Structure formats: structure tokens, C-alpha cells
Amino acid sequence: MPRLTTTHWKVLVCIFKKAGFIYSRTTGDHMAYIKKGCIRPIIPKYKEIDVLIIKNNMRSANMSREKYFEYLKYCQ
């Protein structure tokens, strides 16, 4: 399994859209997405999103590493 690395916010948005999340709102430079049955992931508009933020969003979205890397193939 590859390692998680920092990524651009647009790539992370693409991954969560592929996972079925819908844009909810923007507060400052942070975007919130929603999906029934999941805690709302918050994606900051940073050039490089840290691995810790990616992991926290994956945990709140109930997304496995396998699914993350599967969606990442389509979003780069």
C-alpha cells in the first residue's frame, strides 16, 4: 500500500466528490461536504494539505485507505 502524501486541495475535493460527498458551504477558506451517515469532512484551500488533515477527513468520512487510493487514480 502506498504512503499518504501531501496533496493539493483540488485533488482532495475530487476524491470526496467521487466518494459521493456533496458540497455544503464555505467558511473562510474551508469547504464543508456532506453525505448521509457520515461526519462532515472539512477541506481547507491549502496548496499542500498535510497528511494529518487527510487522515482526519478520511476517518470522518469512513473512507478506507484502499478507497482513497482508488479515487486518487482518477483525480490526479
E-only strand ranges, 1-76: 22-27, 30-34, 42-44
Range 9-75 classified under CATH 3.40.50.720: no
Largest CA-CA distance found in the chain, in angstroms, rounded:
35
Q: What are the average pLDDT values for consecutive 10-residue runs of the chain, which has 76 residues?
A: 92 95 94 91 94 94 94 92
Q: Is 33 exposed, middle or buried (0-12, 13-18, 19+ CB in 10 A)?
A: buried
pLDDT on residue 40: 85
Is 76 within 8 Å of 28 (Cβ atoms)? no
Is 21 within 8 Å of 34 (Cβ atoms)? yes
